């Protein structure tokens, strides 16, 4: 497959990766994954720059497969001696793994990558003063947003321009680049002896995409609408999830649909392909070729072309995501779903999940709810969600919904169910798809019959 | 790692534009890990990361740059970038003279993991896999992981501080899935200490694996946890994360000074029940959060945060302490040379009381006994926190009865501290943890005796 790297720097990285892959002996496969990125982070607080960080970092991960055994080593530098050490370590590590007939690197599969280049040079060339001004401006906007705002914990501007390349002795060659900038702010609001925080953020492929007003308004609204919040009695409730919250649930579902989890018996949906696992309203795809996603990409972590993968259509489970090794074991092609950094081997993961839009806006879906809870935030996702059993229990803050309208604020309560039940209990999906910083596209989702644990 | 004369030169460059404080933090870290999953040793990984982070402080602004190039030229380029980022007015001329200090962990590493043949590490994995699977046919999946790292750091700053240190950590974990009529459940056990391969003289790996398997099996019979408020007894060693979340984060001086903590302005006040003493202690030798010096070169300390219910002090890093004209408490830590340090915990624990743990349960008519907590999360501004129950049981008529499915508990830090109404005499440290803050993870330890909170909200699904 012929492939042109998008610029000289990417071409240089690809040449480096290729030179390492070329060192493969006759009985082994070698893969090199090389990345380099430059970034800045400006943190503003109290009208001053709290910190300004700028740096370039680079690294390499080397995977060796020999006799169906895999070894891996990485280094946080591209110095030639470190690269040579990494290759030697990876070879040595491979001798200690137990053989597995499915283990091996990706091989070219003839799927052409969908061209995509979101690299805007204006990100890297943006003057430092402008970044500082933006961070200070965002803090000012939040502080001016409401008399109860007493400050911000931090207002941040970040940008990153990165390039990567992957090459293997099996004929894979891929490279890409990307640039993003983002801003976030955490507002503090006080009234009487109560203090609340509220966050807002904005992300873009270039500085002009940033919407400071939206981030500031969001942070102010979220920090100021919980005053007087308290627990409500335990009850069964309907919850309404705005896109950013709904995306979290979509992400949990996506995580259970990787071939690796299924093959190793760790997915609650492992034997459900072809069955209705969710309300017929739900259609979920993982599609890094959708260029509206901030996670859009041409290649996966093994250098195969990214592709559109349908996971759930009209509530029916269609299949799972695979990288090349899990695909071989399952007797299926890779879905181009290998995700990785330089310091780890590829694993199967979701890249750009998207829930298909239904009908209705957030407000119209809200109007349909008699009694429920609007979730502003969920906490304890890492401790309260078990992706093997599907058990889910999280702490929430938000507003009660009464007679179709947002009502009194609530905090220090939990909601609980199982992922399996929640999917079947979806009662509405909106048409207000929002593309979120993590790359997920999601509309408002309403789910019935969760247990609320409160007073 | 770097010559003293080079460090002095680099710090001089960093201060040249009018910096008030400059620091070089260099790090050389080697990681090794091995993973067994699905009955097979899948992979061994080795990693090497080496570089330096340089910061320059001017007024309230910190400029920071990092580099993987530890040559004099590489360090000077980073120092210039940090100085430019700090935006000093220029005109500074500063000669820095370093005095080498000493850092001592106070004990010897008996066996450096890097000196242990890889085959021995692999053998531990297969042994644990067999032990876990021997517990019963219902154990459908086992994964075992081994990890070690050796981290050498060097800190030199414009105050003349110059210190080097080395930390060695070794870690082992077993995770099991049990499958039954009720679906799948999981059980996990992990151990980790700031020591070398002698970790495996301290623990019986077979027993650890069987415990993880037993926990998964037990939960197959678990019923849904209740929802709502009730008394909760936390098991010895299993619940230090409660204090890490309920008060630890809120006592970090950076959050306090920004008004983002419910504990702001409360030093000297009664914030917890009498008898409650909470300590953060980096000097606890061999524990997971143990350090000889923090990542700003200051010696680790034993800091009493709450004494007999009274808030005594916050935790401090260099910058926050300097602003207040006091000394750092040895809590300035960072994930790696690529990150700025901030106030972080080390080993956070609650001192033992005097009650017999059995009697604490016996005097609880109805409630939940949480033997092991999972991770947690806190909103320091409100003090509201959650943490997961990974092993929990109902208490009925003063007896531990049926196992419960997983769920979160939710509470409010200041309220929970006031609601501790029983403290056992059986203190123990818990499993190794990783604390995340602003995207940086650092190793932390925690510990508690058996204790009871008179009311916490359980986030189950049963009425």
> Could you report the per-residue pLDDT of A183-224, keeping only the tens digit for each?
999 999 999 989 999 999 999 999 999 999 999 999 999 999
Distance of residue A115 Cα from the nearest chain B Cα, in angstroms: 32
Determine the pLDDT at residue B89. Answer: 60
CB distance A179 to A119 below 8 Å: yes
Confidence of residue B104 (pLDDT cuts 50, 70, 90): confident
A274 sits in the region (left: phi over 0; alpha: psi -120 to 50; else beta) called left
- What is the mean predicted confidence (pLDDT) over B48-68? 94
* Torsion, CA B74, CA B80, CA B82, CA B84, rounded to 10: -150
- What is the mean predicted confidence (pLDDT) over B259-288? 96
Determine the pLDDT at residue A415. Answer: 95
CB distance B98 to B4 below 8 Å: yes
Please tell me which residue of chain A has the smallest CA distance to B390: A383
Which two structure tokens, joined as six digits, stand for A17? Answer: 């990766």
Confidence of residue B91 (pLDDT cuts 50, 70, 90): low
Determine the pLDDT at residue A367. Answer: 97
- Return the SS3 of B344: coil
- What is the mean predicted confidence (pLDDT) over A89-94? 97
- What percentage of residues in chain A have a pLDDT greater than 70? 100
pLDDT surpassing 60 at residue A1: no
Determine the pLDDT at residue B90. Answer: 59
Are A265 and B140 in contact (CB < 8 Å)? Answer: yes
Residue A160: count other Cβ atoms within 10 Å of its Cβ: 16
Phi, psi of B236 (to 5 degrees): -55, 130
Task: Please list, residue by residue across B228-262, b when 16 or more beta carbons sit within 10 angstroms of its beta carbon and e when fewer do.
Answer: bbbbbbbbbbbbbbbbbbbbbbbbbbbbbbbbbbb
pLDDT surpassing 90 at residue B286: yes
Are B34 and A128 in contact (CB < 8 Å)? Answer: no
Q: Write out pLDDT tens, residues B134-188.
A: 999 999 999 999 999 999 999 999 999 999 999 999 999 999 999 999 889 999 9
pLDDT surpassing 70 at residue A2: no
Please tell me which residue of chain B has the smallest CA distance to A392: B407
Are A195 and B38 in contact (CB < 8 Å)? Answer: no
- What percentage of residues in chain A have a pLDDT greater than 90? 95
Residue B380: count other Cβ atoms within 10 Å of its Cβ: 27
Residue in B152, B1, B18, B162 with CA at minimum distance from that of residue B74 = B1
CA distance A448 to A64: 49
Are A92 and B184 in contact (CB < 8 Å)? Answer: no
> What's the whole-number average pLDDT of chain A?
95
Which two structure tokens, joined as six digits, stand for A368? Answer: 């349909």
- What is the mean predicted confidence (pLDDT) over A168-192? 95
pLDDT surpassing 50 at residue B44: yes
Residues of A (178-217) whose Cβ lies below 8 Å from B: 186, 188, 190, 194-197
CA distance B74 to B76: 6
Residue B12: count other Cβ atoms within 10 Å of its Cβ: 18
Are A416 and B407 in contact (CB < 8 Å)? Answer: yes
pLDDT surpassing 60 at residue A225: yes
Q: What share of chain B is helix, strand, coil (3-state, %, to 5)?
A: 20, 45, 35
B172 sits in the region (left: phi over 0; alpha: psi -120 to 50; else beta) called beta
CA distance A58 to B67: 10
Segment among A306-310, B93-97, B158-162 with least mean pLDDT: B93-97
- Return the SS3 of B143: strand
Give the residue from A182, A416, A425, A455 with the most B CB atoms within 10 Å of its CB, the best one to mutate. Answer: A416
Q: pTM score, two decimals?
A: 0.93
Please tell me which residue of chain B has the smallest CA distance to A420: B183
> What's the whole-number average pLDDT of chain B?
94
- What DSSP designation does B425 have? S
CA distance B268 to B278: 14
CB distance A352 to A440 below 8 Å: yes
Please tell me which residue of chain A has the smallest CA distance to B258: A153
pLDDT surpassing 80 at residue B368: yes
A119-123: which pairs have CB atoms within 8 A and are 24 or more residues apart?
Answer: A119/A6, A119/A7, A119/A161, A119/A177, A119/A178, A119/A179, A120/A179, A120/A205, A120/A206, A121/A179, A122/A206, A122/A207, A122/A208, A123/A159, A123/A160, A123/A161, A123/A179, A123/A180, A123/A181, A123/A205, A123/A206, A123/A207
- What is the mean predicted confidence (pLDDT) over B390-407? 94
């Amino acid at each position: 497959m012929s492939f042109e790297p998008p610029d000289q720097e990417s071409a240089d990285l690809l040449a480096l990766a290729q030179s390492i892959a070329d060192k493969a002996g006759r009985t082994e496969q070698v893969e090199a994954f090389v990345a380099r990125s430059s970034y800045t982070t400006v943190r503003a607080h109290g009208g001053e720059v709290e910190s300004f960080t700028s740096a370039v970092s680079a690294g390499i991960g080397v995977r060796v497969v020999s006799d169906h055994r895999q070894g891996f080593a990485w280094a946080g530098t591209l110095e030639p001696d470190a690269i040579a050490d990494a290759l030697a370590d990876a070879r040595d590590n491979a001798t200690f793994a137990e053989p597995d007939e499915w283990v091996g690197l990706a091989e070219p599969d003839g799927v052409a990558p969908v061209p995509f280049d979101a690299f805007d040079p204006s990100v890297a060339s943006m003057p430092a003063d402008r970044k500082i001004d933006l961070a200070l401006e965002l803090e000012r906007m939040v502080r001016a947003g409401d008399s109860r705002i007493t400050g911000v914990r931090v207002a941040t501007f970040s940008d990153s321009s990165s390039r990567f390349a992957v090459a293997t002795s099996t004929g894979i060659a891929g490279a890409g680049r990307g640039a993003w900038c983002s801003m976030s702010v955490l507002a503090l609001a006080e009234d009487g002896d109560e203090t609340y925080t509220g966050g807002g953020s904005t992300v873009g492929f270039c500085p002009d995409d940033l919407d400071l007003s939206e981030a500031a308004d969001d942070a102010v609204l979220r920090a100021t609408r919980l005053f007087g919040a308290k627990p409500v009695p335990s009850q069964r409730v309907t919850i309404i999830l705005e896109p950013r919250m709904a995306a979290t649930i979509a992400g949990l579902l996506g995580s259970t649909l990787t071939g690796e989890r299924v093959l190793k018996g760790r997915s609650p949906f492992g034997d459900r392909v072809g069955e209705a696992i969710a309300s017929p309203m739900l259609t979920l795809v993982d599609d890094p070729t959708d260029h509206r996603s901030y996670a859009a990409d041409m290649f996966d972590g093994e250098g195969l072309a990214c592709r559109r993968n349908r996971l759930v259509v009209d509530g029916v489970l269609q299949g799972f995501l695979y990288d090349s090794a899990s695909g071989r074991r399952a007797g299926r092609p890779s879905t181009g779903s290998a995700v990785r950094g330089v310091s780890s081997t590829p694993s199967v993961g979701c890249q750009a999940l998207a829930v298909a839009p239904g009908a209705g806006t957030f407000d119209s879906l809200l109007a349909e709810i008699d009694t429920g809870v609007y979730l502003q935030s969920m906490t304890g996702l890492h401790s309260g969600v078990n992706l093997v059993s599907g058990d889910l229990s999280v702490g929430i803050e938000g507003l009660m919904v009464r007679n179709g309208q947002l009502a009194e604020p609530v905090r220090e309560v939990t909601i609980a169910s199982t992922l399996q039940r929640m999917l079947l209990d979806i009662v509405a999906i909106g048409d207000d798809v929002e593309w979120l910083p993590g790359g997920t596209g999601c509309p408002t989702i309403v789910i019935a019959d969760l247990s609320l644990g409160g007073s | 790692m770097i010559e003293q004369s080079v460090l002095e030169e680099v710090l001089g460059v960093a201060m040249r534009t009018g910096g008030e404080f400059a620091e070089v933090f260099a790090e050389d870290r080697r990681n090794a890990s091995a993973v067994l999953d699905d009955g097979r040793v899948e992979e061994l990984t080795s990693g090497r990361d080496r570089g330096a982070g340089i910061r320059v402080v001017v007024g309230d602004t910190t400029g920071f740059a990092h580099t993987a190039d530890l040559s004099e030229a590489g360090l000077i380029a980073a120092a210039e970038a940090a100085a430019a980022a700090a935006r000093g007015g220029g005109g500074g001329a500063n000669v820095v003279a370093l005095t080498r200090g000493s850092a001592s962990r106070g004990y010897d590493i008996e066996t450096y993991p890097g000196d242990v043949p890889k085959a021995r590490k692999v053998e531990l994995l297969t042994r644990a896999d067999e032990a876990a699977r021997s517990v019963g046919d219902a154990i459908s999946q086992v994964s075992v992981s081994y990890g070690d790292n050796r981290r050498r750091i060097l800190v030199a700053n414009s105050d003349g501080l110059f210190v080097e240190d080395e930390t060695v950590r070794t870690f082992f974990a077993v995770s099991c899935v049990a499958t039954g009529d009720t679906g799948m459940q999981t059980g996990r056990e992990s151990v980790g200490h700031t020591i070398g391969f002698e970790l495996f003289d301290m623990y019986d790996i077979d027993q650890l694996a069987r415990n993880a398997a037993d926990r998964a099996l037990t939960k197959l019979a678990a019923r849904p946890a209740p929802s709502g408020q009730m008394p909760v007894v936390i098991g010895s060693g299993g619940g230090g994360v409660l204090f890490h979340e309920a008060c630890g984060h809120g006592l970090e001086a950076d959050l306090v000074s920004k008004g983002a903590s419910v504990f702001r302005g409360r030093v000297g006040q009664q914030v917890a029940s009498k008898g409650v003493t909470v300590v953060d202690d980096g000097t606890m030798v061999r524990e997971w959060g143990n350090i000889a010096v923090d990542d700003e070169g200051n010696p680790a300390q034993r800091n009493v945060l709450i004494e007999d219910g009274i808030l005594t002090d916050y935790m401090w890093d260099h910058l926050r302490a300097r602003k207040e004209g006091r000394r750092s408490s040895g809590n300035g830590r960072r994930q790696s040379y690529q990150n700025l340090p901030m106030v972080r915990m080390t080993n956070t624990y609650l001192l033992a009381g005097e009650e017999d743990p059995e009697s604490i349960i016996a005097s609880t008519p109805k409630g939940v006994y949480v033997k092991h907590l999972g991770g947690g999360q806190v909103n320091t501004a409100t003090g509201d926190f959650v943490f997961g129950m990974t092993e929990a049981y109902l208490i009925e008529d003063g007896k531990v009865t049926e196992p419960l499915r997983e769920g979160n508990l939710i509470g409010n830090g200041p309220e929970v501290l006031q609601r501790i109404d029983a403290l056992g005499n059986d203190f123990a440290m818990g499993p190794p943890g990783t604390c995340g803050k602003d995207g940086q993870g650092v190793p932390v330890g925690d510990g508690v005796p058996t204790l009871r909170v008179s009311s916490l909200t359980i986030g189950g699904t049963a009425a």
